[in-house]
Chain A
Amino acid sequence: MIRFKVLMCVAILIYAVGARAESLYLERMASARWSPAELADTLTLLQQHEDIEPVSVQRPAPFHQQKAPQVDAQREFCVACHTTLPHSENKRLRSYLNLHVQSLACTSCHFRPEEVELSYRHWPLKQSVAADDAPSLIAPFSAGVVEAFTREQPEIERLIGDWKQMDIQHKAAVHLHIHLPLDEQGPGCGNCHTREEPMLDLQALEYDEEQIRKIQQDRVARFLGDESLEDQPIRLIDLLR
């Protein structure tokens, strides 16, 4: 029975997003199979999970005026659960990884099937707005179909709404369907912040030369991405040299 419900959910997803054309991610979602150990891990994860309500501290206000993060990414499907600040475990990298939520769809880093060549293009999050002003993220495309969803699609909204009423077995199955095609670990800093065969073709993504130089030769990313320095703190003076 549970299996049937889950399949229905996934079918809804496929219908919602993939009806126009075949999305590779949706295909993999539908065909996901898991071992009893993976199911047990997921059940434990869900049981131990505690929702932390976002808190805003009004007083005392932050001493320095801050720049608020851009919130275009709020339209993305994954953000419904993971929020716009999804990375919190790795103290060294979390803030830097969260920077990328402003410009990259989650699947750009976390959906990387080995045998398929993906192209990365701007993915408008809102169709109704004029093309120049439309909020967009860089997302992976396979055979011209985007491998990401917005949460504003009615069926996805329904799935997110149903999530709270699901029993834990049901939740675990949906969780596995969604997450098994994804990699927990994204690509390292050096995959993009490099001049030698970067993962993203920034020129095709219409970045200007100055922006490309800043991204590819980013000093901080080079330090953070250096695995030999992973365990030792970075001295600020070294960063400036």
Chain B
Amino acid sequence: MSEQAIIDIKQVSKRYKVSNEALLVLDSLNLSVKPGEFLSIVGASGCGKSTLLRLLTGLDADYDGEIKVRGERVVGTSLDRGIVFQEHRLFPWLTVKQNVGLGLQNSTWSQEKKQKAVDDHIALVGLNGFEGAFPHQLSGGMAQRAAIARGLVNQPSILLLDEPFGALDALTRSRLQQELQRIWQAEKITLILVTHDVDEAVFLGDRVVVLQPRPGRIRRIVDVDVPHPRDRADPVLKGLTEEVRGEIVNVSPN
């Protein structure tokens, strides 16, 4: 089995200009992402995890170092790397079906293939029956599901999620975490989830990257060797969760 990394992050640093001073947000990060793995990135606010995700999507091209996907440098965005943001960011003037379909705007597939992809992914996230609804008619959880469908409709090999459940209530969050696990197993893609929720990170991830803030550095990478689908009550998971939480809480900004 080829263990060649699908994503290679080498010595990546990012600076922001704040009031004429350069603020170092990420400091020489090195990370390899294995194909098909579920990678969680967790850390306190200000650790640069969302920034890292934006660099991976290609929305931001201003950084030092190298980011490669399958050996090729990341230059701008790509349909092969889907993204789900913290807000659903559905277009209010489009229905659910049209919103999911907008991911296929620049796809080279045939009309039938596109139609099928939209229908399949709406079914995948459990929104059957709501194809014609407008975003204002959906609950937060449903809108976020639609956003996930939109992110997956191109069948990208990598899906990036930036605190996708942060704006939802605890019950919905819990349910959507299960959904995400199910979707990941069904689609067999590489998933990178950025979150500040330690339980979520350990419950879902095969590996958990702990970032420490100011400047953002990898503090530790924790392997979660528990087979999917997982049980939240599993003592091994609980133990690892506490371990990771300890890593975050004990960090003082340097």
Are A and B interaction partners?
A: no
Interface residues, chain B, CB within 8 Å of chain A?
A: none
Interface residues, chain A, CB within 8 Å of chain B?
A: none
